[in-house]
Structure 1
């Protein structure tokens, strides 16, 4: 069952049972209060387990058009969605997260940052999203679980859910993104570099072969650790590998270009043969 933590009538009264249950989810949970985008976004998140970091900022920066509807699949505590709402003031965002505790934290974060009017949270499995969402988003973003299920499973259950998933394969995330996107709508995933080829193949097999790859280099002269992969639903043709971004200097500090992204600038991800 879908739990819309933003528009559910139960959420509008602070004294009802459903509201109390949502509050109970966070009882005794050790959290930290952190900030993103030059401290313009506040994030409450679990002290242990999967934590919001630079991947969330980078993925949000991949969305360059300040209009329309955006879907954040596997939203966690809302890191990507919060950055999107801060950067782009003319979009409507839906954040979908399967873990009720993480979804409850995401809703707390939405309220704390004053984004209630433009950002709603759904507690839902991305493979079972409400039919009304089909084909309705201009841009779908996701940082899907990127470790293979056969690998060592983290002891922390929420970290395991974020890194390995809940029985879904990477292809299921691709299917869900294509299902939710409008025709010609954009889809941006951030993934481990060693899984980019698999992701590109899955999109191409589903009729979205014009793939843009934006590598994220940890430091100069080292292999990319992450890649942002962007496609457009139903658009086929030659893809392109873009120059990408070097994140850190040799001393560990952010490069000048990366600092601008971490402070709220967007990435330029555009097919070299296209103007839009």
Structure 2
């Protein structure tokens, strides 16, 4: 059993979610909270997170929409045990956790083609970058040469026709992501820049697409995260602190 004794205790969404992390290793940022807010799921649907880490995205999504069937896939067994710990601490049910390498080591009985939505924050540091002495941090951050392409291709094995894939990526991977999405028969590719402050370059962005459709791509105005004088903007605060959705698609907006 993985050792879960060396943890730091904290919260997400202004105390609405209990959240523990390893004292050493990769630390959770804003990406999984924003990514989960953008998943256009409805009650009763099935959702998978690829590379779920310690469960921040799963917790935020199921806080906003409790009536979901949710799967989390994670390669590192200790990190997956921490995700299970965090889910239990928040009384989450209906979540299935799978310790497997995605996409080439999923079990034969996996529910392929039955997911309405997938989301992921893939590792993106270059393979030849300096390795972290912490194995868990290295797995979470350092990509293999084909990680982004294989995760996008792998998502097509999970999704239903017209199902959505939501990615949180650095802006430097925008062009590659759009290319791989197009090759994998995703359409309606929607880019949402995450501006640190007004007038600053967006270093992160959300990319959402739907499998098997041919709708054209769009770039949204995006979300400004911080005010000039510090603190979150009112728009980002409602998402990060109150659990409001981040609406990216017209179809989702029409249901609100």
TM bin, normalised by shorter chain, reads over 0.9
Q: What are the residue-to-residue correspondences of 1:56-71 with 2, within 5 Å?
A: 56-67=32-43, 68-71=45-48
Equivalents in 1 of 2:130, 2:216: separation in Å?
36
2:60 is equivalent to residue 83 of structure 1: yes
Q: Measure the CA separation in 1 of the matches of 2:126 and 2:212.
A: 28
Matching residue of 1:211: 189
Q: Provide, for residues 41-64 of structure 1, a one-character-per-residue CA deviation record: whole Å limited to 9, x for no partner.
A: 111111122112211110010023
Alignment of 1:245 onto 2:223 = yes
The Cα shift of 1:220 comes to: 0.8
Return the offset for 1:271. 4.3
Aligned length: 251
Could you tell me the TM-score, scaled by structure 2's length? 0.92
Q: Which runs of 5+ in 2 are unaligned?
A: none
Offset of residue 209 of structure 1: 3.2
User: Is 2:170–2:204's contact at 8 Å kept on the other side of the alignment?
Assistant: yes
Residue 190 in 1 paired to residue 168 in 2?
Answer: yes
User: Do structure 1's residue 180 and structure 2's residue 128 form an aligned pair?
Assistant: no
1:37 paired residue among 6, 13, 25? 13
CA distance in structure 2 between the partners assigned to 1:254 and 1:93 by the alignment: 29
Do the aligned partners of 1:61 and 1:265 also contact (CA within 8 Å) in 2? Answer: yes
Structure 1: which 4+ aligned runs deviate by more than 3 Å? 165-168
The residue number in structure 2 matching 1:8 is: none
Note if contact 1:66-1:89 (Cα within 8 Å) is conserved in structure 2.
Answer: no
Give the Å deviation of 1:168.
Answer: 5.0
**Residue 99 of structure 1: aligned partner:** 76
Q: SS of the residue aligned with 2:186?
A: coil
CA-CA distance at 1:130 after TM superposition: 2.5
CA contact (8 A) 1:69 1:136 kept: yes
**Does the 8 A contact of 2:187 with 2:211 survive in 1?**
no
CA–CA separation in structure 2 for the residues paired with 1:203 and 1:257: 29
Partner Cα distance (2:100, 2:47) in 1: 16
Q: 1:270 aligns with which of 210, 226, 249?
A: 249
Shift of 1:166: 6.1
Report what 1:236 is aligned to. 214
More displaced 10-residue stretch of structure 1: 48-57 or 218-227? 48-57
Mapping of residues 86-165 of structure 1, within 5 Å: 86-115=63-92, 117-127=93-103, 128-131=105-108, 132-165=110-143
- Could you say which structure has the larger radius of gyration? 1
For structure 1, list consecutive stretches of 5 or more residues without a partner in the other structure: 1-21
In 2, Cα distance between equivalents of 1:154 and 1:219:
30
| CA distance, structure 2, for counterparts of residue 239 and residue 271 of structure 1 | 12
**What whole-Å deviation, never above 9, does each CA across 1:159-184 have from its counterpart, x for those lacking one?**
11111146752111111111111111
Alpha-carbon contact 1:49-1:156 (below 8 Å) kept: yes
SS across alignment from 2:11 = strand
Q: Which moved more, 1:260-269 or 1:120-129?
A: 120-129
Q: Aligned partners of 1:166, 1:241: CA distance in 2, in Å? A: 28
